[in-house]
Amino acid sequence: MQPQTHYVIVAFETSMVPFPDFNLPPPYTYEVRQYERTSLDQIPERIRDADIVTLSVLPLRAEVLDAAVSPRLKMVAVVASGTDSVDKEACRSRGIVVSNTPHCNARSVAEHTIALYFDARRSLTLTHSLIRAGQWIERKSLAKSLAGPDGKPPRTCQSETVGIIGYGAVGKTIESIAKNLGMKTLISGRKGQSTAEGRTPFDTVIRESSVIILCLPQNPDTVNLISEPEFDAMKPYAIVINVSRAGVMSEEALVAALKARKIAGAAVDVHSKEPAGPEDSPLFAPDTAELNLIATPHTAWVAEDTNRNYQRSLVENISSWLTMGHPKFQVV
C-alpha cells in the first residue's frame, strides 16, 4: 500500500480563527473543507471524510470519535490552549493525535484581565448602568456606588495584592503587567498540597489577596476550586476575576457572595454554558443587575496578534506531525 500523502482537513469553526492558507512540505498535499460554525448534530456528516479536524471550543465526544463515525480521522488540531472540549481518552484509544496551540493568546488574555480589574475595582460597568437608569439624577451622586462592603472607596494599584492562581503563560504575563502597575503579586500553590519554593499557599492567597485572578486549566482537581468556603475567607474588598474556565469557580457561590457583600466585585470571561444569557445563567438573573459583576462573552483571547499566533502554531503542528511523527504541541 502506498503511504498516504493527501489529506482532507475539516475546519469546524473558522468564525473563531480563520483557517490559514499554507503549503505542506512535499510530498504532502491537502484539501480543506471550511465551516464558519458547526453544531453538534452536524459533526457526524462533516467528520466522516476527515483525516484532520480543527476546532476551538466545539465539543468532540466519544460517539463522534468512534471509528464507525470518523473512520479516517488521525489528528484533532485544537486552535486553543484548552483541550477539555475533546474526549482525549477516546482519541488515545484509537491512536488519534491531539494537539493544541498554547501561549498564543497570553498577551491578549492578560490585557483583558487587567481591563476587567479596572472595571470591577472602579465599578465602571455598574455606574454606567446606574446612569442609564437615571440614578445619577435621582441620587445626586454615585460616588458611594464605588465603595466596597467595607464602606471604603476603591483601592489604587499600589495598594493591591494580586493573587494569581495558575502560573502558565497567561499568569506570568499578568504578573509582569501587575508589577509594572505597582501591585504586589502572590503566585498560588496548589490547593491542598505542599507549596513549592516561590509559591504562596493557596489558602494564604485567598485570605490575603485584594485581587484574585483565575487563569488555570480546568480538570477534575480544579472544578469548583473557588466556592463558598473560599468566598467566606476573602477580604471584603476583594475582586475575583476568572479568565480560565467556568468550572473552576461556582457561579452560584459567586452570585451569593456578591449579594451578601462578602466581596467587592467580580469579573468573568467564561461561562458554564456558552453562549450564556438570562435564561440559563445565574450571573444574568434579574436580581444581579445592580451587583458589581462584569461579564464578557469569552472574548479575552480575541486579538489580531492572537489569530496570527494561532495560525502559525496550527501549521507547525500539522507539518510536524506529518514530517516528524508528532505535532509540535502534542496533548495526546
**Active-site annotation holder among 298, 308, 312, 316:** 298
- Residue 137 has φ and ψ, to the nearest 5°, of -65, -45
Order of strands, sheet of 29-34, starting from the edge strand that comes earlier in the sequence: 29-34, 6-11, 52-55, 75-78, 97-99
Residue ranges in 85-227 assigned as alpha helix (H): 88-94, 106-122, 124-132, 135-139, 169-180, 202-208
**Active-site annotation holder among 6, 261, 274, 308:** 274
DSSP three-state, residue 242: strand
Q: Active site includes 245?
A: yes
Q: Active site includes 103?
A: no
Question: Rounded distance, CA 40 to CA 246, Å?
Answer: 21
Question: Rounded distance, CA 87 to CA 191, Å?
Answer: 26
What cell numbers appear for 37 in the block? 460554525
In terms of DSSP bridges, do strands 29-34 and 52-55 run parallel, antiparallel, or are they unpaired? unpaired
Q: Is the dihedral of CA 157, 159, 165, 169 positive or negative?
A: positive
**Active-site annotation holder among 208, 245, 251, 271:** 245
State how far the alpha carbon of 230 is from the alpha carbons of 61, 205, 249, 288, in Å.
Answer: 32, 10, 10, 21
Quick one: which H or E segment has residue 165? strand 161-165
Active site residues: 245, 274, 298
